[in-house]
Chain A
């Protein structure tokens, strides 16, 4: 009888310890691959007649938006492929690009119905995370190769008696494509707001692998047009 009581007590202790441990070590994960951090957002002006405005101008350079006094650490390697991919998608949607080696850009802008502006920016995030359990599913996040990090959704349960803290840092990139109604631009007066008829934003974590980045950017631009069927002429 005494032995049985001891067994029961032991079982209770084991349960008290193992149930929380099981919870922490099996807590479901989230992003596993860089491309799962990508989001593509589009919005448009439903009063604008896209079908009647099919000539567009797009500069042959991308604006890298950086803080004043900061260095531009965004690679220019993607600029050409990004502009090519946007041009391909615009062409497939029925738009004609105005470009010339002779005519100046300002004249081309005046002749266009819409102007596309392409801007890239990046941000750095750092913080302190906490890995409960210190093993199993969570254990391999810090070895991921992007500064040992995860994203701000975590940590979700600091303050427990096990696990270990870690620091993380990662960079995100955003690509903005803006379609401006050239005929509605107010070049005079105090109103400097640009009449944006369509805006697309691609946002995601930056990875070091150039092929992977290029693939994600191409997919992102394609998705911008796919989820904007009103653009098609």
Chain B
């Protein structure tokens, strides 16, 4: 909660900075996400359920800052299998259903090339908090871990202007939520496609 308050305070501060350009933008994109690292060990399936919402503004003609909300859902039904405890004394067999819901809330900056042209590639990076809910269902039993993580992302993408205030946004973003004292790290690459709206 404390992290959310900090992020909101910082974003209000950023938006209130009166600088050159003052072009506001909103991105709404659909995500396909590929799990990486320990996330892939738990769920290897690509996620087709995800979306990202950005709100930001240009500080100069090349640099913008924004705030992002994403939601990415990962799911995998495992085949019937046997899992044995580390000491080998207990074995349990069944069908596991695994879920991860990731909700990143981040602040970021992006460096945009050719911002005034129709095709504007950019590089973005940011950090923030990642709420990760991981659930494991087996039989009639369910276990869920909900944890706030600190995380960061780099992103490569482009805006393609369709009209003076509407464009297409396409990108690849690597989301990484660092491990906590009790939970593992989560990471995935999200590919995004959607709309980029601008307002002067």
Residues of A near any B CB (own CB < 8 A):
4, 8, 11-12, 15, 19, 22-23, 26-28, 30-31, 36-44, 46, 125, 151-153, 156, 172, 203-205, 223, 227-228
Residues of B within 8 Å of A27, CB to CB, are 49, 73
Residues of B near any A CB (own CB < 8 A):
28, 30, 49, 51, 71, 73, 75, 77, 82, 84, 88-95, 97, 99, 135, 137-142, 163, 165-166, 195, 197
- In the assembled complex, the CB of A191 is this many whole angstroms from the nearest CB of chain B, namely 22
Residues of A within 8 Å of B197, CB to CB, are 8, 12
Where chain A touches its partner, the secondary structure class is mixed
Known contacts A19-B51, A153-B137, A153-B142: A38-B90 contact under CB 8 Å: no
Residues of B within 8 Å of A38, CB to CB, are 94-95, 139
- In the assembled complex, the CB of A131 is this many whole angstroms from the nearest CB of chain B, namely 17
Tell me which of A11, A31, A228 contacts B97 (CB under 8 A).
A31
Where chain B touches its partner, the secondary structure class is strand
Quick one: closest A residue to B101, CB to CB?
A156
Known contacts A19-B28, A23-B71: A204-B139 contact under CB 8 Å: yes
> In the complex, A153 Cα to B134 Cα: how many Å?
12
Known contacts A27-B49, A27-B73: A36-B142 contact under CB 8 Å: no
| Known A19-B51, A43-B89; 15 more pairs at CB < 8 Å | A8-B197, A12-B28, A15-B28, A26-B49, A30-B77, A38-B95, A39-B94, A41-B93, A43-B91, A125-B140, A152-B140, A153-B142, A203-B139, A205-B140, A223-B93
Contact B89 A39 (CB under 8 A): no
Residues of B within 8 Å of A46, CB to CB, are 88-89
> In the complex, A37 Cα to B97 Cα: how many Å?
10
Known contacts A27-B73, A30-B137: A40-B92 contact under CB 8 Å: yes
